[in-house]
């Protein structure tokens, strides 16, 4: 049984017991209703759970896994990742699509559709039970991808920390959707592609390699945005490299964000 289920069971029993005692008119010797103790008990329990999460993380198995390329000449990849640390970079060999180490295990599907390999990777272990900051809540991944084939990459990230280094990758398109996260994203140094970045309450640093031109559109709420205008001067409603229209390597980037901190350099 998962720890989250145990916690919810205890919480429901506590609430039900206090409500029953209240209906039966049971009082403490000083006349205090037992229901008045609910929030102090709940806060004490939540604090204890946080401390358990800090000092007793427990043991989580790490799985080393490889996904075969199956002779495909292109790929689409969706990665769903919640709490923990995610690292993505090049490094898979010519016969592989991907390999890596996956704390908590890997649940993946890989299907060949024509010349394209379609892959979805997600944690085998669900850690998003309440509260997410309890024991065994970090699932750290280190993923190496094949740099030789074009990949449509979609990342759906929760409350995690990510270092996504695509500098050596062949990316046909990038879709990044994050929640309360901290993300460092290094874009590919070659190709012409689009990047759609959709952020919640997040921190994002985007590194544009030398030689890659960019056009950057932004749609922001209460966001703190800093863009290196020496490389990407503002032009009307967007920021753009002077040679964007003629560059051999370029990214057309859209950033939608709420309460986020964003750096592009």
pLDDT exceeds cutoff 90 at 126: no
Task: Rounding to the nearest 10 degrees, give the CA dihedral for residues 184, 190, 191, 194.
Answer: 20
Same domain, 155 and 188: yes
Question: Between 149 and 30, where is the model more confident?
Answer: 149
How far apart, in whole angstroms, are the C-alpha atoms of residue 147 and residue 88? 12
Letter string b/e over residues 182-212, b meaning 16 or more CB atoms within 10 A of that residue's CB: bbbbbbbeebebebbbbbbbbbbbbbbeeeb
Q: What share of the chain is helix, strand, coil (3-state, %, to 5)?
A: 15, 45, 40
SS3 126: coil
Domain count, the chain: 2
Same domain, 47 and 90: no
In sequence order, the 6+-apart residues with CB closer than 8 A to the CB of 48 are none
Amino acid 52: pLDDT: 60
Amino acid 116: pLDDT: 98
Same domain, 150 and 245: yes
pLDDT exceeds cutoff 70 at 127: no
User: Which among 15, 32, 55 is the end of a domain?
Assistant: 55
Q: DSSP character for 133?
A: T
CB atoms within 10 A of CB 122: 17
Q: What is the pLDDT of residues 22-63, one digit of tens each?
A: 778 887 787 777 667 666 777 777 667 656 655 555 557 899
What is the helix (H) or strand (E) element at residue 84, kind and residue range? strand 84-90
**Residue-number span of the structural domain to which 24 is assigned:** 3-55
CB 198 within 8 A of CB 219: no
Distances (CA, A) of 124 to 32, 90, 133, 145, 173: 47, 23, 18, 19, 26
Same domain, 120 and 176: yes
pLDDT exceeds cutoff 80 at 221: yes
Same domain, 257 and 202: yes
User: Which among 55, 71, 86 is the end of a domain?
Assistant: 55
């Amino acid at each position: 049984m998962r720890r989250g289920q145990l916690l919810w069971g205890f919480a429901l029993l506590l609430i039900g017991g206090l409500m029953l005692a209240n209906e039966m008119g049971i009082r403490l010797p000083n006349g205090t209703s037992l229901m008045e103790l609910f929030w102090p008990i709940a806060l004490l329990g939540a604090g204890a759970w946080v401390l358990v999460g800090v000092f007793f993380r427990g043991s989580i198995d790490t799985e080393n896994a490889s996904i075969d390329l199956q002779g495909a000449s292109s790929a689409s990849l969706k990665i769903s990742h919640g709490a923990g640390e995610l690292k993505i970079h090049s490094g898979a060999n010519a016969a592989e699509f991907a390999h890596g180490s996956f704390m908590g295990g890997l649940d993946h599907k890989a299907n060949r559709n024509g010349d394209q390999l379609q892959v979805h990777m997600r944690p085998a272990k669900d850690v998003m039970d309440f509260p997410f900051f309890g024991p065994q809540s970090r699932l750290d991944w280190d993923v190496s991808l094949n740099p030789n084939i074009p990949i449509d990459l979609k990342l759906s990230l929760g409350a995690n920390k990510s270092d996504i280094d695509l500098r050596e990758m062949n990316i046909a398109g990038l879709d990044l959707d994050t929640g309360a996260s901290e993300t460092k994203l290094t874009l590919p140094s070659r190709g012409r592609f689009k990047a759609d970045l959709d952020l919640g309450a997040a921190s994002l640093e985007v590194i544009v390699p030398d030689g890659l031109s960019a056009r950057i559109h932004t749609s922001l709420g209460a966001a703190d945005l800093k863009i290196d205008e020496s490389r990407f001067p503002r032009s009307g409603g967007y920021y753009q490299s002077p040679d964007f229209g003629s560059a051999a390597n370029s990214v057309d980037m859209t950033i939608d964000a709420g309460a986020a901190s964003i750096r592009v350099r």
